[in-house]
Structure 1
């Protein structure tokens, strides 16, 4: 375990150097007293986190700051994120923006960072407890889950529901809030007999496809599908399409990527809840720069909003169509 941690830290240090150089180049050089802003995402491949990184970089450039960007090696890589926090504190960042892979696993490292005078802000994923960080800029993920659940239930009409839950990664507040919100919106509980299958996918398309293939083989009458995010929805759709059951199963999701909106427009996914990751990143960077300027710290949970996007609206469920989604996707 010690060798593994050392290896992760070494890789993190190399990535961090590259990030700092990138920030200096983009700004045309930087002074020794420029503000360093750290960003740690769950992965560097998921389009959602790519958008966060791009938006944070653009805002840092606009504010004359340097962005130091790192990511976990995979969704659930808590150890890599802990190492990244420690590295960033050593680099003298004024603030760290983090989308924690585990809402509890990074708490000790966050406390050490805050004790060292670094402001820490959670983006997208709240810590548990929430006040382990100075502030959170994120989607109200329970509300997003409720929107998905209400829409999927309405789309079934009067059909007796047989629901599958394709969850994300255990231990993350995003996963818990979206899951619980969907159940609330749909009108069932974890113990309801309407749930005929449930798998963790880490929000990964390939894992979701495999999980859905396995579930379809043992629960052929599924008609409603909750997905943690759009990559999971895309993977599930591949399995459903291969089984010739696309007309049978209603798929709901959450994200709002342009790819996801295209899947809604084409009918692969019935509806998705669009988030605003760029807003999370921009507000986070602005807060760190403000803290560096005058010591003002952000606080509390700050909802960055969400909106259900579907071309099949139902009365009483707020939504926008895919034309709007195409104008606001990321």
Structure 2
């Protein structure tokens, strides 16, 4: 009797496993790989992907690098997700070039790969890119800074990301273009440096490094009156350095991101203006495209602009902007 009972139990378990597998196989499996799991930008991106996956009946797998620039972990995540049956992988590439072979290997197995936020290098290595127009984001804050300077001679510092990164280059060069200074176009990964830019420094988007970079720039030229930063943590660090030097009221800081802390700093006057991007929207659009691919076999391709808005506490003539309340209603991260 015990043997019969065990046989029946094994049969029931096998049947249950078969039923579960059948249900799971009907659900599209989509992977999301972010640069890190702690950055509020990527936390919001994950929230957007989870909500859209639940809405559309998809299974979402998630992974991230251990730090910004951790290509090895992203390669492993792609391999694991392909093995788990993912037919679409959404990725924010930590290393735009180094990740390409892993992407190509996944594509050869029928997986659609969509880059979110940051392009691959070359951009067409991924099937599609859903991202902020980073050049436009730079142009918006550049145009704002020029108007807010009210005809004063610009003495500019740029606190950038690190050399060769597409997003860093696009924001930097877009800022210069919006300001009316000589610049490179949106396809360049090089950073333009016209005469008005008296200091350029890498911050890796980090607050502490932003502060150190600003301190060094002030030593080079204490007359700086405009500071562009790659993101809002770097802007907060720059402000700390300016305040310590008693110059916080004399220097205009503009940035890009649109996180809740950054928008709040616009309201406080720490940052004059920021270009807000929308990570939740990027991820939701990516999941929707993945579900469509699973159902119909149709792939998305090319670049899709996920939107950007200039957030400013004090509007300036000729430069459209949204107020801080709008920014806070659409921000991400801790308030």
TM value normalised by structure 1: 0.88
Could you tell me whether the CA contact under 8 Å between 1:38 and 1:95 is conserved in 2? yes
Deviations 1:19-65 (A, max 9, x none): xxxxxxxxx99933122211111111221111101111111122222
Match of 1:318 among 313, 317, 320: 320
Give the unaligned 5+ runs of structure 1.
1-27
Determine if the alignment matches structure 1 residue 262 to structure 2 residue 264: yes
SS in structure 2 at match of 1:213? helix
- Give me the whole-angstrom Cα distance separating, in 2, the residues matched to 1:105 and 1:81: 10
1:114 is displaced (CA, Å) by: 0.6
Aligned residue number for residue 106 of structure 1: 99
- Give me the whole-angstrom Cα distance separating, in 2, the residues matched to 1:47 and 1:312: 26
Aligned residue number for residue 170 of structure 1: 163
Label 1:308 to 1:151 Cα distance change in 2 as closer, same or farther (>3 A): same
1:214 is displaced (CA, Å) by: 2.0
SS in structure 2 at match of 1:211? helix
| Cα-Cα RMSD | 1.7
Trace 1:214-233 onto structure 2 (pairs within 5 A). Answer: 214-233=216-235
- Give me the whole-angstrom Cα distance separating, in 2, the residues matched to 1:154 and 1:316: 8
- Give me the whole-angstrom Cα distance separating, in 1, the residues matched to 2:58 and 2:22: 8
Aligned residue number for residue 125 of structure 1: 118
Could you tell me whether the CA contact under 8 Å between 1:76 and 1:202 is conserved in 2? no
- Give me the whole-angstrom Cα distance separating, in 2, the residues matched to 1:232 and 1:29: 47
- Give me the whole-angstrom Cα distance separating, in 1, the residues matched to 2:21 and 2:258: 35
Give the unaligned 5+ runs of structure 2.
1-19, 183-191
Determine if the alignment matches structure 1 residue 79 to structure 2 residue 77: no
TM value normalised by structure 2: 0.86
Greater than 6 Å deviation, 4+ residue runs: none
